[in-house]
Amino acid sequence: MIGLLRSLARIGFRKGLGGGGRAWLALGVVSWFAARTKEKGKDPPPLYSEVLSPGESIAVRILKPPR
């Protein structure tokens, strides 16, 4: 979906700025904003992943930084 929106944005900007068509330029701007919004709305990937065996656990501590 994001790839399609990026393609529409590229075509819209090319035809809008090169050919002078306001409708194409508007399509380029709207599709660029839509692709950007969809891209930023995704959850970031996990930084760390570990598979635990039965009985194993993980302890997470937050320590104050030294002054």
Model confidence over 6-22: pLDDT tens digits?
Answer: 888 888 888 888 877 88
Among 42, 23, 32, smallest CA distance to 5 is for: 32
Residue 13: other Cβ atoms inside 10 A: 17
In the chain, domain spans: 2-40
**DSSP labels for 8-59?**
HHHHHHHHHHHH--HHHHHHHHHHHHHHHHHHHTSPPPPS---PPPTT----
Q: What is the pLDDT of residues 1-60, one digit of tens each?
A: 878 888 888 888 888 888 778 888 898 899 989 888 888 887 888 888 889 999 999 888
